[in-house]
Amino acid sequence: MRFIGIAAFLAGVPVAVLGFLAAMGWASFWPALAGIAVCIAASGAFALVWAHDLDLLTDAVRLVASDERPPGHRSEGPVLMEALGREVDRISRRLATRTALQEQHRRADTLILERLPDPVLVLARDRTIRRTNAAARLAFGEEKAAVLRHPAIRGAIDKAMATKQSQTAEISLPAPVQRDIYATIVPMDPPLADGGEILVVLSDRTRERVIEHMRADFVANVSHELRTPLASLIGFIETLRGPAADDPPAQQRFLEIMAEQGARMNRLIDDLLSLSRIELNEHQVPSEPLDLKRLLDRIVAGYEPRLKDRNVELALRIEAGLPILSGDADQMAQVLQNLLDNGLKYGRDGGTLTLTAAVATPGKIWPSRRGVVVSVADQGSGIPKEHLPRLTERFYRVDKGRSRAVGGTGLGLAIVKHIVNRHRGHLLIESEIGKGTTVSVWLPVVQS
């Protein structure tokens, strides 16, 4: 059709003029007829080439517009419109480069978002989730909707959309475990490539909150622990100055209690300083050689008088040929003393305290690496299960009164835990009510 149209358009006027001249007799019939024939043939041929070129270029432009043109494709064939064909090729190449660049940016955006350490949710204008990153999927799983339903977050999103300014909100998620979340809502203008208009960045602040609480608790605990002996000292000083001023036997008794309270405060401060020193170099694994057998012998010898006082028998099960460990002898002595002290304090008078040291059996309880286990088992009344996970917290005591009565500061096992951590070891406390408690320490054997 296009071919006939073009041919008719080209040949129409000359054929009509020649026809008219022939009809009027102003031109001889045969030459006019020959002219008409030449005109029709020439315009037919021309129209054929033109229509072919137009078809080719139309197809090329259609492919470019629909993004289906293979990269580097060149328009071949236009005869009369070759220059136009070259321009179409050029436009096609530029569009392809630009599309590739856009795709690269989009992928970079996705990757940045995906790898961000904080959980991020991307929302569309209607608040539906468009995308989430790996951290969000890991931290919130199926709870994303619950987070977005939280009134504080919804309010912040509304405000961010209305003001086009970032907003923040703090929320607390009760289930499955209590979590404190700090949310930052960032409106995206212009929107992201995937249509996301709101970024919700969620940072988990639970750990910071817990540390804050622990710090506050620690200060309160230390003050409380110091206040009790201090109040007693002040009370006795008052008494010595007043009512007991002329009562030497009472003075002797009071001075004895005062000395005890002073020693208690001293112990508490020593333990606190010791704990902070251990924490300070907890990241440095000790590298000096440690002969565990010799250390155990030395410590056990020092315990003889106290064992006699409590009528406790110490059973030693020290395996022969224990490997040399690497460790800090003073700190390991502190660990063993704390465990033996506890065994003596909370064990049964007249019972047996068992000190075991052996090469660890790798498996369920202990790591598969080579190690040595030292444990102290007593025959005391045991510790209820619910207390076991908290025993290594500072100042945590199962029975406050009993611990204080035997002069405990509640820091012993906290010190043990930090020393064991520094040695990259493991601590295990097992207890059975009515039967006794076993505290074991696993220490790695460093291959030389």
Q: Which residues bind Mg ion (CB under 5 A)?
A: 342, 412
Q: Does 354 bind ligand ATP (CB under 6 A)?
A: no
Strand pairing partners for 442?
373, 426
Of the two residues 153 and 339, which places its CB atom closer to ligand ATP in the complex? 339
Q: Does 371 bind ligand ATP (CB under 6 A)?
A: no
216: Cα within 13 Å, side-chain hemisphere: 6
Q: Does 225 bind ligand ATP (CB under 6 A)?
A: no
> How far lies 431's CA from each of 312, 317, 377, 434, in Å?
19, 20, 9, 9
CB of 355 to ligand ATP, least distance (A): 13
Q: Does 377 bind ligand ATP (CB under 6 A)?
A: no
The site partner of 167 among ligand ATP, Mg ion, none (C-beta below 5 to 8 Å per kind) is none
Pick the stretch among 10-18, 43-51, 396-404, 420-428 that binds ligand ATP (CB under 6 A): 396-404
The site partner of 15 among Mg ion, ligand ATP, none (C-beta below 5 to 8 Å per kind) is none
φ, ψ for residue 302 (rounded to 5)?
-70, -15
Among 35, 371, 380, 444, indicate the residue that binds ligand ATP (CB under 6 A). Answer: 380
Q: Cα–Cα distance between 383 and 437 in angstroms, integer? A: 7
CB closest to Mg ion, residue no: 412
Of the two residues 144 and 394, which places its CB atom closer to ligand ATP in the complex? 394
Q: Are 420 and 441 in contact (CB under 8 A)?
A: yes
Q: Of all residues in the chain, what percent are helix, strand and coil, respectively (each to 5)?
A: 55, 15, 25
**Closest C-alpha among 328, 333, 262, 259 to residue 302:** 333
Q: Are 197 and 120 in contact (CB under 8 A)?
A: no
Among 403, 422, 443, 444, indicate the residue that binds ligand ATP (CB under 6 A). Answer: 403
Which residues are CB-neighbours of 410 under 8 A, at least 6 positions away? 225, 394, 395, 396, 397, 403
Q: Does 437 bind ligand ATP (CB under 6 A)?
A: yes
Pick the stretch among 183-191, 315-323, 357-365, 389-397 that binds ligand ATP (CB under 6 A): 389-397
Q: Does 271 bind ligand ATP (CB under 6 A)?
A: yes
CB of 305 to ligand ATP, least distance (A): 18
Is 181 exposed, middle or buried, given 0-12, 13-18 or 19+ CB atoms closer than 10 A?
buried
CB of 341 to Mg ion, least distance (A): 5
φ, ψ for residue 372 (rounded to 5)?
-125, 140
Pick the stretch among 27-35, 147-155, 197-205, 337-345 that binds ligand ATP (CB under 6 A): 337-345
Of the two residues 93 and 404, which places its CB atom closer to ligand ATP in the complex? 404
- Long-range pairs for 216-220: beta carbons < 8 A, 24 or more residues apart: 218/394, 218/395
Pick the stretch among 33-41, 108-116, 317-325, 392-400 that binds ligand ATP (CB under 6 A): 392-400
Q: Cα–Cα distance between 378 and 340 in angstroms, integer? A: 9
Q: Does 398 bind ligand ATP (CB under 6 A)?
A: yes
Pick the stretch among 14-22, 100-108, 322-330, 408-416 that binds ligand ATP (CB under 6 A): 408-416
Q: Does 383 bind ligand ATP (CB under 6 A)?
A: yes
Of the two residues 383 and 420, which places its CB atom closer to ligand ATP in the complex? 383
Q: Cα–Cα distance between 329 and 292 in angstroms, integer? A: 8
The residues in 86-115 that bind ligand ATP, with binding defined as CB under 6 A, are: none
Q: Does 229 bind ligand ATP (CB under 6 A)?
A: no
Of the two residues 140 and 395, which places its CB atom closer to Mg ion in the complex? 395
Strands, E, within 156-307: which ranges? 167-173, 179-187, 198-204, 289-290
**Closest C-alpha among 409, 416, 419 to residue 392:** 416
Angle, vertex CA 293, rays to CA 416 and CA 363, nearest 5 = 65
Q: Does 22 bind ligand ATP (CB under 6 A)?
A: no
Q: Does 343 bind ligand ATP (CB under 6 A)?
A: yes
Q: Does 346 bind ligand ATP (CB under 6 A)?
A: yes
Pick the stretch among 133-141, 254-262, 362-370, 394-402 that binds ligand ATP (CB under 6 A): 394-402
Q: Cα–Cα distance between 423 and 325 in angstroms, integer? A: 10
Q: Which residues are at the interface with ligand ATP (CB under 6 A)?
A: 271, 338, 341-343, 346, 378, 380, 383, 391, 396-399, 403, 408-414, 437
